[in-house]
Chains A and B, each alone.
Chain A
Amino acid sequence: MAQRRFLPALPALTLLAMLGPVVAGLYGTILPAFGHMPTVGAFGPNLDAFRALFEWPGLPSAIRLSLTTGLIATATSLLIVALITAGWSGTRAFLLLERMLSPLLSVPHAAAAFGIAFLIAPSGWLARFFSPWLTGWERPPDLLIVQDPWGIAMTLGLITKEVPFLLLMTLAALAQADAQRSTTVAQALGYQRMTGWLKTVFPRVYAQIRLPVYVTLAYAMSVVDVAVILGPNTPPTLAVQIVKWMSDPDLTMRLQAAAAAILQLGLVVGALAFWRFGEWLVERLGCRWVMAGRRSHGDGIIAGAALGLGMLSALAVLLGITVLAIWSFAAQWQYPNILPDALTTRSWMRHSSGTLEALGETTIIALVATAAAAILTIGCLEAEHRYGLRLTKRGLWLLYLPLLIPQVAFLPGLQTLFLSVGADMGRGPVMMAHLIFVLPYVFLSLADPYRAWDPRYGTIAGALGATPDRTLWCVRLPMLLRPLLTALAVGVAVSVGQYLPTLLIGGGRVATLTTEALALSSGGDRRAIGVYGLMQTGAALVPFAMALMVPAIVWRNRKGLRHG
C-alpha cells in the first residue's frame, strides 16, 4: 500500500513546493528593502530605501491608483456577477453568457487590454464608426481616454476580465449551493427572482467564492500588463513603478524597488482587511435586510441593468479581440477608416515560425505544470478527506501567498534561489515556477466543490464494498468532472499567461507566446500583437472549451450532474 504512505505526505509536499520558493523569494526582497544588497555595495539594515521611496513625489498617486483601481474593479465585478446570477441564472440569457465565458476567460489580459485600448481611444474603432460623418472629427480629438489619470480605462479593462473569472467561480460554486431548491422555495413565498436569490443563495455562494474574490482583489491591485497598457503613466500604479525600478540600469534602484514591493504587499494586506471589514458590514446589513422580508427591489430594472453591463463587458473583450484579428491581417489602416485598405497574410507569414515554436513551448509547460498541480491538489484534498489532514486557516493563506504578493516582489529572489541550487534555465525550472502560480488557482478552483461533495456518496460506496481509492476514481472524481476540468482549464490559462516567471526563471531562453507577445508589445506593433494575442487566446481557449464540452457529452444522460 504505497499510496497510503504517500498520500498523507502530499499536503506537506505541496506546501513545500509552494512555500519554499515564496519564502526564499520574500527573503530576497526583504533584505534589499532594508538596505542589504552586497553586490551593489549596500550593507544594511537601514531604512534608506524606504526613505527614498517616500521621497518619490509620485507615491501618493501611485498608492491611490493601486487602491482605487483594485477595490473598484473587484467590487464592481462582484456586484455585476452577483446581480446577473441572481436575476438570470437558469434563463436563456444566462445560458448565452455561460457560453461566452470560455472565450472571454481565455483571452489573455494583455491582449484584451490592447483590444479595448484600440476600441476606446480617440482614434479607435468606436470613434471611427462615427467619424467624421457624425462627430465631425476629421482628425482624432486630443482626449485623454486611455491612460486617464484616474485609472478609469484600466478599471474597466480589469472588470471585463474579472467578471468572467468570478462568474466561472460562481458557476462552480452554484453546483454545490443547492440553489435551485432555495430559489424555488423563495419564489413560492412570493420573492422576486433576484431578491430571493440574493437573500437565500448568495451567502452560501459567497462563502465558496471568497478566496477567488480575494485573489481577484490582490491581482487587480498589483497587475502590471493591463496597467501598462490602459493605466496612467504619469505616475503609473505602484506595481508598474516597481517593475520600472527593477529594470533601472542603476542597480541601487533595486533597493527602492524592494522597499516598494514591501509597501505593495502592505497595501494588498490592508485592502484585504478593508474588504473583510466590508464583508462584515454587508453581513450585518444583509441579515437585517433578509429579516425585513421585502419581496422585491425593482428586480426587473436592476437585473436588466446588470445583464446589460455584463453583456457590455463581454462585448468589449470580444470586439477587442475581433479588432486585433483584423489588425493581424491589415495592410495600411489609417484613421478614420473603419476597415484596412487591404487585407494581407503577411503578418502571419512573418511570425509563423516564431509563433509555432512558442506555441509548442507554451503547451508543454502548461500541460506539465497543470497536471502536477492537479495531482497535488487532489492528493491534498483526498488526504484531508480521509485522514482529516485539513489545512489550518493559516496554512491555507500560505498556499495563496503567491497570488497575494506581487510577482515582481519575490521572483527575482526566487531566481537567485534556482541559480544557487543549479536548477537554472530551461524548461524544467520554468515549469516549477509556473507550478507555484498554477497550483493555488487549481486548488482554489477545485477545493470548494471538492469539499462540498456530499460524503454520503462515499459512505454508500464504502457500504457497497468499495475501497477509498475506488471511491475516489469511480465516484468522486467522475462526479466532480466538471469542476475538475474547469480547474485544469484555469491552470492552463494561468500558465499560458505567466510572463515574469517565464522570463526570469527561464533566463529569457524559454520563449512562450506570452513572453514573445509582451516583447513585441513594447514596440506597439498592433499587427504582431494581433498575431500573438490570437495564438495566446487559442492556447487558453481549447481547455476551457473542453471543460464545457466534455461533461456535457459524458453526462448527456445524467441529468443530476449537468446543472453545475
Chain B
Amino acid sequence: MKHLALIAALTPFAAWADTDPADWDSVIAGAAGQTVYWNAWGGSTNTNDFIAWVGEQVKAEYDVTLEHVKLTDTADAVTRVLTEKQAGQDQNGAVDMIWINGANFAAMKEADLLFGPFAEALPNWDIVDVDGKTVQTDFTVPTEGYESPWAMAQVVFIYDTADVAEPLGSMQEILEWAKANPGRFTYPQPPDFLGTTFLKQVLVDILPDPSVLQEPVSDETYAEVVAPLWAYLDDLTPVMWREGRAYPVTGDATYQLINDGEVDLAISFSPGAASAAIANFELPDTVRTFVLDKGTIGNASFVAIPYNSGSKEAAMVVANFILSPEAQARAQDPELLGYGTVLNLEALAADDKALFDALDLGIATLTPEELGTAVAEPHPSWMTRIAEDWITRYGVTQ
C-alpha cells in the first residue's frame, strides 16, 4: 500500500490539476456545467434571496449551477472539509465555496484546507477598493488570495427613536443609557460572532489606545488590557434585558426583540440591515441607526474555496461574479440586502457607477460619510480568548 501511495504521489496528474486562475478563459471553459455548493449562513431570508439571484445569473451567463447550502453555523462547513480530509477524500468534496471570515478563515488557512491563491487573479479584482477597505487582511490575518471579498460590514447600533431620544456617542454613553433604562438593551450571546463583536467594540471604544489589539494576545498583558471590559460588563449586565440571565441567539433575533418592544437598542454588523428589516416588517419604521463618535469596527465578508472542491473553476466564476458592479449594487440595495460594497466606486465605468448612485439607501441607513472610517478588527486571538472568558464570567452564572 505504501508503494502504491508513493507511486500515486509521484505520478504527474495533469488531468486532475487545477485550472490556473490567471488563465481566465480556461476557468470559464472549465466552469461550464459545474455545480457549486455554496455553504453560507441561511438564517436571513434576504441573504438567501440574494444568493438565489446570483444562482440565476451565473446559470444564464456561465452555465454554472449554484446550490445554496444553508448553514446555521459556518463552522459546520469547516468541520465538513476537515472530516473529508481526515477520511482522505481529497477530490469532489461536499463544499465548493464558503461564506467565511475571521476565526473560521484563520483555522482553515492554518490547516491547509483552502484552495488558492486565486482571489487577486479574478478579473474583477481590478475594481476592488484595495486601498480604502480592509480586503487583504481578515481580522488582521493576511488573506494572501485564499479568499475573495464580497461585502463590507461595519458595526452600527439600531435604536428605536420612539424610545431613545438621540444617538449615543460612545460605549460609556450606552452604559449610562442602559442604567437609566434597565432591561432595554441586550446583545447576542457570545460566542455568536455578533456577540463577540459587541465585546470587541466595547474594548476598542473604552481603551485609550486600542492599537495593542492589532497584535496577537500575549499572556503577560492580556489580563491588564481586558480588565476595563470586564468592569464595563459588570456594570452593564445587571441592567440588561433579563438581567443578563438570558441572551438572544443571533443578531437577527434581537430585531425581533425590538419589534416586540422588549428592547430599544441593538447592535448590528450591517449598516443597511435595519432599512431592509423595516421593508420586511421585521422592524418598526421608527428605527434608525448610529455609529459611535470614535467610529466602529468594520470588516469584510469573504468567500473561500476548499482544497478538495470538484468545482473550483465554477466557484471562481461565482466569486468573480459577485464582485461585478451589477451584483455589488444589488447587494447594497437595502430593499434587497443592504451590504456595503467592496468596490472602489471611482474605478468604475460611468454607467456602472450610476447603478450605485441610483440606490436609495433607505431611511435607517447612514451615508458612507456618516459611517466614517471603520476601526480595524482586533487579531482573532483576542476574540477567541475574550469569548472564552466571557463564557466563564457571564455565560454560566446561574
Interface on A for B, CB 8 Å cutoff?
Answer: 38-39, 56-58, 61, 121-123, 139-140, 142, 144, 146-149, 228, 232-235, 244, 246-251, 254, 330-336, 350-351, 354, 412, 415-416, 419-420, 424-425, 503, 507-509, 511, 515-516, 518-528
Given A234-B396, A334-B261, A522-B72, A508 contacting B94 (CB threshold 8 A): yes
Contact A508 B255 (CB under 8 A): no
How far is B42's CA from A354's CA once the two chains are assembled, in angstroms?
A: 12
Given A248-B75, A333-B281, A334-B259, A522 contacting B250 (CB threshold 8 A): yes
Given A519-B72, A523-B253, A526-B256, A415 contacting B83 (CB threshold 8 A): yes
Residue numbers in A under 8 Å from B282 (CB-CB): 525
Residue numbers in B under 8 Å from A330 (CB-CB): 281
Residue numbers in B under 8 Å from A354 (CB-CB): 48
Select one of B42, B88, B281 contacting A331, CB under 8 A: B281
Q: Is B123 an interface residue (CB 8 A)?
A: no
Residue of chain B at shortest CB distance from A340: B281
| Chain B contacts with A in 106-151, Cβ cutoff 8 A | 106-107, 111
Residue numbers in A under 8 Å from B72 (CB-CB): 518-519, 521-522
Given A58-B396, A522-B43, A508 contacting B246 (CB threshold 8 A): no
How far is B260's CA from A330's CA once the two chains are assembled, in angstroms?
A: 14
At the interface with chain A, which of B15-23, B63-71, B169-177, B205-213?
B63-71
Complex A-B, nearest 10 residue pairs according to Cβ-Cβ distance, in ascending order: A523-B43, A507-B94, A58-B396, A142-B183, A524-B253, A519-B42, A123-B260, A519-B70, A419-B87, A523-B252
Contact A232 B246 (CB under 8 A): yes
Q: Is B356 an interface residue (CB 8 A)?
A: no
Q: Name 11 A/B residue pairs within 8 A (Cβ), A-sorted.
A: A39-B86, A58-B395, A61-B398, A140-B261, A140-B262, A233-B247, A247-B79, A248-B75, A332-B281, A522-B73, A524-B252
Contact B394 A234 (CB under 8 A): yes
Residue numbers in B under 8 Å from A144 (CB-CB): 242-243, 245-246
Residue of chain A at shortest CB distance from B67: A509
Given A39-B85, A57-B396, A522-B72, A334 contacting B260 (CB threshold 8 A): yes
Select one of A249, A336, A420, A509 contacting B103, CB under 8 A: A249
Contact B37 A509 (CB under 8 A): yes
B304 to chain A, nearest CB (A): 13
Contact A412 B83 (CB under 8 A): yes
B372 to chain A, nearest CB (A): 28
How far is B87's CA from A507's CA once the two chains are assembled, in angstroms?
A: 14
Contact B94 A523 (CB under 8 A): no
Select one of B82, B191, B262 contacting A251, CB under 8 A: B82
Q: Given contacts A121-B260, A519-B71, A526-B256, could you give 20 more A-B pairs where the C-beta distance is less than 8 Å?
A: A38-B86, A57-B396, A139-B262, A142-B182, A142-B242, A147-B242, A232-B245, A234-B189, A234-B246, A234-B247, A235-B398, A333-B259, A333-B281, A334-B259, A420-B87, A503-B76, A508-B70, A509-B94, A523-B43, A524-B252
Q: Is B89 an interface residue (CB 8 A)?
A: yes
Residue numbers in B under 8 Å from A519 (CB-CB): 41-43, 70-72
Residue of chain A at shortest CB distance from B89: A419
B177-207 to A contact mask, C-beta < 8 Å, 1/0? 0000011000001010000000000000000
Q: Is chain A's binding surface mostly helix, strand, loop or mixed? A: loop
Interface on B for A, CB 8 Å cutoff?
Answer: 37, 39, 41-45, 48-49, 67, 69-73, 75-80, 82-89, 94-95, 103-104, 106-107, 111, 182-183, 189, 191, 241-250, 252-253, 255-256, 259-262, 281-282, 284, 384, 391-392, 394-398
Residue of chain B at shortest CB distance from A61: B398
B4 to chain A, nearest CB (A): 17
Given A57-B392, A149-B398, A420-B88, A248 contacting B191 (CB threshold 8 A): yes
How far is B69's CA from A144's CA once the two chains are assembled, in angstroms?
A: 35
How far is B262's CA from A336's CA once the two chains are assembled, in angstroms?
A: 11
Residue numbers in B under 8 Å from A139 (CB-CB): 261-262
Given A503-B76, A524-B249, A416 contacting B86 (CB threshold 8 A): yes
How far is B241's CA from A121's CA once the two chains are assembled, in angstroms?
A: 13
Residue numbers in B under 8 Å from A246 (CB-CB): 79
Residue numbers in A under 8 Å from B37 (CB-CB): 507-509
Contact A508 B82 (CB under 8 A): no
How far is B111's CA from A122's CA once the two chains are assembled, in angstroms?
A: 46
How far is B279's CA from A241's CA once the two chains are assembled, in angstroms?
A: 36
A187 to chain B, nearest CB (A): 50
How far is B43's CA from A325's CA once the two chains are assembled, in angstroms?
A: 19
Residue of chain A at shortest CB distance from B255: A524
A57 to chain B, nearest CB (A): 5
Residue numbers in A under 8 Å from B76 (CB-CB): 247, 503, 508
Among B41, B104, B106, B259, chain A packs the most CB atoms within 10 A around the CB of B259
Given A248-B75, A249-B78, A508 contacting B69 (CB threshold 8 A): yes
How far is B72's CA from A526's CA once the two chains are assembled, in angstroms?
A: 16
Given A144-B246, A235-B395, A249-B103, A509 contacting B45 (CB threshold 8 A): no
Residue numbers in A under 8 Å from B104 (CB-CB): 249
Residue numbers in B under 8 Å from A234 (CB-CB): 189, 244-247, 394-398
Residue numbers in B under 8 Å from A416 (CB-CB): 83, 86-87
Residue numbers in A under 8 Å from B189 (CB-CB): 233-234
Given A39-B82, A123-B262, A251-B107, A525 contacting B45 (CB threshold 8 A): yes
How far is B104's CA from A465's CA once the two chains are assembled, in angstroms?
A: 69
Contact B94 A516 (CB under 8 A): no
Residue of chain B at shortest CB distance from A333: B281
Given A511-B70, A520-B45, A250 contacting B107 (CB threshold 8 A): yes
A29 to chain B, nearest CB (A): 13
Residue numbers in B under 8 Å from A336 (CB-CB): 261
Residue numbers in A under 8 Å from B259 (CB-CB): 333-334
Residue numbers in B under 8 Å from A509 (CB-CB): 37, 67, 69, 94
Contact A523 B79 (CB under 8 A): no
B37 to chain A, nearest CB (A): 6
How far is B156's CA from A57's CA once the two chains are assembled, in angstroms?
A: 33
B238 to chain A, nearest CB (A): 12
How far is B248's CA from A149's CA once the two chains are assembled, in angstroms?
A: 15
Contact B45 A528 (CB under 8 A): yes
Residue of chain A at shortest CB distance from B73: A247
Residue of chain A at shortest CB distance from B163: A139
Residue of chain B at shortest CB distance from A147: B246
How far is B116's CA from A536's CA once the two chains are assembled, in angstroms?
A: 41
Residue numbers in A under 8 Å from B87 (CB-CB): 416, 419-420
